[in-house]
DNA sequence: CGGCATCCTCTTTGATACTG
DNA sequence: CAGTATCAAAGAGGATGCCG
């Protein structure tokens, strides 16, 4: 993209990461850690392969990403964030916080990936009984399942499945999120098409209310 | 711009404000308050008029901006941020904080406006003697002067001139900022082309050191 | 397969001119 | 003042080819 040529911090930041797709590439590297080219492709549905190559070259040149050549037999390149790249996390946090308002309605054609659950889930949940027994919640959208695990160490969300979860939420991603956030009651969620199996009461232990959520967000938690 | 069609908070945010120029329009409305069309044009050097019109229409449609028709004899339209628009401030703060790293070198062709001083100045300065006598510092780049005023009420930066400032810094914007931040000493600044007139010692009262700056930034100050 | 480069089409931008 | 109209150039999107 052409520079804005504004001597202004915001404009300079956008000169570096304001191109289409660029911040989503950073999102992938932040939420997935170091990625191969194909990992990025599958985490960025819709991107053209030449664009991904272009953006990665520009990000490397800008000192935001560095590439680690992994020698055979693995034979791949790993893309990492530099320190300057890691410093973009607050930008993603701010954008993600602001973007929560659009998550209530999901378009039919929207793509989804397991690791995209991490950000909103960490905003919506908080363990009200951290010394209670550890629990796991299986999130099952059509594909791309994820697991929420709460223990003394806090709440973690990761892609994948767990053997016998304490609770499972199966259905479209936006219903899963609406139920976790408390925007939908369990009754409403079931009526709209979510399947809840197991200890539904767990939601009361983990749901953070709206006021707390905005506070946590204000301090960048 | 076409939607990314990702069911992800960051992608949804970028669907709304990720278009080229959009966040800079928000920047203007945040730092200037309600603006007329021509105020925006002059605060956004380089934008094409049709693009500004397009973006404003989209922002209004998205509920981020609203237009107030001001009846004759003033005969103008005022563009305001809605509450959702104001909520974008943390995004600009995060981008602006990250973008500080690019402010040390200024390109010859970079444009500048007085009110762009506000954001970096508030990051660089802190009154170490808030109960001391109120002081004013005149910032004088080629055009677009601004004034820093420190009093019991805090530090404010505004476009314009003041009668007899306690200190004046005249020279290119990047030297003014480098000197305020402490990245350049007064001696270095003078050697590089900045003209300092008045009570140079004021800088010691107002400069925030690097460690403090990063802390203030971490909590979103 | 992983990591691009090329080619082509379509959309968006940027520059300028013009209007109520 | 507050835009709309026009048009050339740049960039995005999609398909496919190539090479270790």
CATH number (domain holding residue A144): 3.30.1050.10
Question: Model confidence over A36-49: pLDDT tens digits?
Answer: 999 999 999 999 99
Helix (H, G, I), strand (E, B) or coil at A111: strand
Protein-proximal nucleotides of chain C (any atom < 7 Å from a CB): 1-7, 11-17
Give the CATH number, domain containing residue B43. Answer: 1.10.10.10
| Interval B42-54: pLDDT, tens | 999 999 999 999 9
Task: Report chain D positions within 7 A of protein CB atoms.
Answer: 1-6, 10-17, 20
User: For B87-121, what is each residue's pLDDT tens digit?
Assistant: 999 999 999 999 999 999 888 889 999 999 999 99
Judged by CB atoms closer than 8 Å, whether chains meet at A9 and B103 is answered as: yes
Q: How far is the CA of A111 from the C1' of D16 (A)?
A: 24
User: Of B53, B87, B121, which residue sits at a domain end?
Assistant: B87
Contact B102 A9 (CB under 8 A): yes
Helix axes A9-17, B22-32, angle to 10 degrees: 170
Whether residue A164 sits in one domain with residue A124:
yes
Question: Which chain B residues touch A92 with a CB distance below 8 Å?
Answer: 10
A124 touches A147 (CB < 8 A):
no
Percent of chain A with pLDDT strictly greater than 70? 93
Q: CA–CA separation, A169 vs B31, rounded Å?
A: 44
Residues B205 and B138 in one domain: yes
Mark whether A55 and A130 lie in a shared domain. no
Taking each helix axis from N to C end, the angle separating B49-61 and B22-32, rounded to the nearest 10 degrees, works out to 80
For residue B68, the SS3 value is strand
Range of the domain at A192: 106-219
Gap from A70 CA to chain B (nearest CA, Å): 30
Domain count for chain B: 2
Terminal CA-CA length for chain A? 33
In a domain, B94, yes or no: no
Between CA B181 and CA B120 the distance in angstroms is 9
For chain A, strand residue ranges (E) read 65-70, 76-81, 135-140, 146-151, 154-159, 167-170, 195-198
pLDDT tens by residue, B118-177: 999 999 999 999 999 999 999 999 899 999 999 999 999 999 999 999 999 999 999 999
Residue A142: band (very low, low, confident or very high) from pLDDT cuts 50, 70, 90: confident
Same domain, A132 and A181: yes
Q: What is the sign, positive or negative, of the torsion defined by CA atoms of A207, A211, A212, A215? A: positive
User: Are the C-beta atoms of B157 and B137 separated by less than 8 Å?
Assistant: no
Q: Which of A87, A121, A142 is the last residue of a domain?
A: A87
Structural domain contains residue A59: yes
* Residues packed against strand C, CB within 7 Å: A 1-2, 36-38, 49-50, 53, 56-57, 67, 75-77; B 1-2, 19-21, 46-51, 54
Measured CA A52 to C1' D4 distance, in angstroms = 36
Token output for A18: 């304001």
The label of the residue with tokens 């160490």 reads: A153
Residue A123: half-sphere exposure toward Cβ, Cα within 13 Å: 26
Distance CA B46, CA B40 (A): 11
Write out residues 14-73 of A within 8 Å (CB-CB) of B. 14-16, 18, 20, 23-24, 27, 45-46
Q: What is the pLDDT of residue A59?
A: 96
Nearest CA in chain A to B216: A219
DSSP B219: T
Asked, for residue B96, whether it belongs to a domain, the answer is no
């Amino acid at each position: 993209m052409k520079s804005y040529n504004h001597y202004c911090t915001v404009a300079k930041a956008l000169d570096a990461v304001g191109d289409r797709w660029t911040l989503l590439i950073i999102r992938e590297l932040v939420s997935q850690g170091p990625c191969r080219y194909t990992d990025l492709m599958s985490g960025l549905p819709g991107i053209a392969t030449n664009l991904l190559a272009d953006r990665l070259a520009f990000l490397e040149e800008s000192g935001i990403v560095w590439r680690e050549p992994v020698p055979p037999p693995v034979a791949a390149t790993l893309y990492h964030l530099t320190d300057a790249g890691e410093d973009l996390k607050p930008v993603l946090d701010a954008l993600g916080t602001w973007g929560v308002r659009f998550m209530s309605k999901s378009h039919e054609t929207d793509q989804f990936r397991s690791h995209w659950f991490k950000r909103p889930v960490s905003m919506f949940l908080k363990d009200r009984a951290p010394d209670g027994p550890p629990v796991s919640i299986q999130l099952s959208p059509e594909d791309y399942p994820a697991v929420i695990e709460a223990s003394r160490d806090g709440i973690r969300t990761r892609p994948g499945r767990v053997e016998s979860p304490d609770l499972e939420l199966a259905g479209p991603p936006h219903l899963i999120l609406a139920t976790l956030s408390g925007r939908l009651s369990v009754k409403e969620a079931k009526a709209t098409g979510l399947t809840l199996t197991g200890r539904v009461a767990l939601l009361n232990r983990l749901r953070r209310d709206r006021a707390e959520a905005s506070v946590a967000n204000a301090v960048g938690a």
